Copies of this chain bind each other. A is one copy, B any other.
Amino acid sequence: MFKNSLKSFLFSIAAISSCSLLSVNAEVLTVAEKQQIEKLKNTALNSDLSYQIVESLTTEVGHRMMGTEGDKRSIKWAVNKMKALGFDKVWTEDVTGPKWLRGEVKASIVKPYPHDVVAIALGGSVGTGEQGITAEVIHFKTLNDLKAAAKGSLTGKIAFVSYQMDRHIDGDGYGVAVGTRVRGASVAAQKGAVALIMRSVGTDNNRFAHTGMTRYKDGIEKIPAAALSNPDADLLVNQFKRGKPVSFYLKLTSSRFSTETVKSANVIGEITGSEFPKELVVIGAHLDSWDVGTGAIDDGLGIGMVLASAHHLAQLPKRPKRTLRVILFAGEELGLLGAKSYMKKHKDEINTHVLGAEWDFGLGKIYKMIPGVGASSLNVIRELAQILAPMGVALSPQNNGRADSDMGMLTDAGMPSINFAPDGASYFDYHHTENDTLDKVNSEALKQNTAVYTVFAYFATQAEIDFRK
């Protein structure tokens, strides 16, 4: 009965329904385990533990860019929280990275009509010096337009790219828009520009600028790079409509250090498996945030979800068969530093990581799961999908799922993964801004998403399946 009603409302399940008899024949969970998983799901759906964890992190720590005092506090917080939540083992693994300080920003339109505007240094940007830079602005609608500018044509000028990110449920607009942030400064420098300013990579119309890493290409002069809030980018575009020269003042006191490094740590905790303790199911999130807001959605949500899921498993009368490892990665925002460090340290043990998932995107409910597993284990994934379907989670017909962010590196190294895709339509309204605060958390979605991760964690630790096959 359940399967029939499922077929009628879930397109993606319907798309693979010709295989459903196979999954019936291959069920891996016993009746008792299925009852257990239903109980766990209900426990998670009725618990606000994940919200309370986000509340605790944002209230007691706040933002926590790698290398800052907040980062240090967050590591202590995470170790203590894991212990309090009943993890069997908790430890940290050192991570080091380059030192960068944001400093202060001051930005204004100088001509034709003076306005102070809201701007933020891109992560890793060099500074302008205390005196700042005043220069004529040349406007490009896209990064491609900037690329098409003649060499030397921007000598002494500030390049401005006004491309506006599109809103999509899966955040697809980000990939298109983020190129300017990542590569724009070096492209502009190649044309002779003295600075890059860009419309924030964000979907909101609030007067917050969105930060995020920029990368300088080797051998090209490093120029200061900043993002403007969407309303301020509009204002600058409207100045150009007057047909008069536009000039801009930018002061960034940010600093890059070529020799000094900063230290942080991945925080790792485990619920030890009762039968196969060396087989690891891994769920993760990143512990660091940008140095703005309180890092509630990026990535407090993920931290709340994976810690609460582990706690729910730890409350069972008996530990599941495999070990559940929870990894809170350091320095994700500064370039997956924690993930790189983890890969280096654990490169010979990746084959013990049987299945993994990370949360680092979205605000709404999970509506889709995209497996990335061996072809033979797809039947088992369908069994998991059937358990999750009543919560509105559809199984993607594709089998190319990659874990988010940090854990994507483990996927790339051969770890079977599942990507749980949430509604992310409003995520980039707040991402990397001062506005990433607790009130943005959708507590109902968080409950459901925690239930999905809890079910996943139990299923994967209990099912004796090699997801590589």
Complex Cα–Cα for A210 and B207 (A): 14
Residues of chain B with a CB closer than 8 A to A61's CB: 113
Within the complex, the shortest CB–CB distance from A201 to chain B, in Å, comes to: 17
Q: Is A155 an interface residue (CB 8 A)?
A: no
The answer on a CB contact under 8 Å between A294 and B437 is: no
The answer on a CB contact under 8 Å between A439 and B62 is: no
Interface flags, A89-113, vs B, CB<8A=1, else 0: 0000000000000000000000001
Residues of chain B with a CB closer than 8 A to A230's CB: 439
The answer on a CB contact under 8 Å between B118 and A231 is: no
Complex Cα–Cα for A239 and B438 (A): 13
Q: Is A398 an interface residue (CB 8 A)?
A: no
Within the complex, the shortest CB–CB distance from A399 to chain B, in Å, comes to: 40
Within the complex, the shortest CB–CB distance from A110 to chain B, in Å, comes to: 13
Contact of A437 among B62, B207, B242, B435 (CB under 8 A): B207
The answer on a CB contact under 8 Å between B115 and A62 is: yes
**Interface bin, chain A:** 20 to 34
Q: Is A131 an interface residue (CB 8 A)?
A: no
Q: Is A412 an interface residue (CB 8 A)?
A: no
Residues of chain B with a CB closer than 8 A to A294's CB: 115, 235
With known contacts A238-B55, A294-B235, A434–B118 Cβ distance under 8 A:
yes
Residues of chain B with a CB closer than 8 A to A118's CB: 434
Residues of chain B with a CB closer than 8 A to A235's CB: 58-59, 294, 437-438
Residues of chain B with a CB closer than 8 A to A206's CB: 206, 208, 435
Contacting residues of chain A (48-64) with chain B, CB-CB under 8 angstroms: 55, 58-62
The answer on a CB contact under 8 Å between B440 and A205 is: yes
With known contacts A434-B118, A439-B231, A59–B207 Cβ distance under 8 A:
no
Within the complex, the shortest CB–CB distance from A329 to chain B, in Å, comes to: 23
Q: Is A444 an interface residue (CB 8 A)?
A: no
- Closest B residue to A113 by CB, please name it: B60
Interface flags, A235-247, vs B, CB<8A=1, else 0: 1001100100000
Q: Is A33 an interface residue (CB 8 A)?
A: no
Complex Cα–Cα for A294 and B235 (A): 10
Q: Is A172 an interface residue (CB 8 A)?
A: no
Complex Cα–Cα for A439 and B204 (A): 10
Question: How many copies of this kind of chain does the complex include?
Answer: 2
Complex Cα–Cα for A205 and B208 (A): 13
- Closest B residue to A238 by CB, please name it: B59
Contact of A439 among B58, B208, B234, B239 (CB under 8 A): B234
Complex Cα–Cα for A230 and B61 (A): 19
Complex Cα–Cα for A88 and B220 (A): 60
Residues of chain B with a CB closer than 8 A to A242's CB: 59-60
The answer on a CB contact under 8 Å between A239 and B59 is: yes
Complex Cα–Cα for A118 and B207 (A): 13
The answer on a CB contact under 8 Å between A207 and B208 is: yes
- Closest B residue to A205 by CB, please name it: B439
Residues of chain B with a CB closer than 8 A to A435's CB: 206-207, 231
The answer on a CB contact under 8 Å between A207 and B293 is: yes
Complex Cα–Cα for A437 and B238 (A): 13
- Closest B residue to A55 by CB, please name it: B238
Within the complex, the shortest CB–CB distance from A204 to chain B, in Å, comes to: 9
Complex Cα–Cα for A207 and B43 (A): 34
Within the complex, the shortest CB–CB distance from A63 to chain B, in Å, comes to: 9
Within the complex, the shortest CB–CB distance from A48 to chain B, in Å, comes to: 14
Residues of chain B with a CB closer than 8 A to A60's CB: 113, 242
Complex Cα–Cα for A115 and B60 (A): 9
Contacting residues of chain A (115-134) with chain B, CB-CB under 8 angstroms: 115, 118
- 9 additional A-B pairs beyond A62-B113, A62-B114, A206-B208, beta carbons within 8 Å, are A115-B294, A118-B434, A205-B437, A207-B434, A207-B437, A234-B437, A234-B438, A235-B438, A238-B438
Which 7 residue pairs across A and B have the least CB separation, nearest first? A231-B437, A205-B439, A59-B238, A207-B435, A62-B115, A60-B113, A207-B434
> Which residues in A have some Cβ–Cβ distance to B below 8 Å?
55, 58-62, 113-115, 118, 205-208, 230-231, 234-235, 238-239, 242, 293-294, 434-435, 437-440
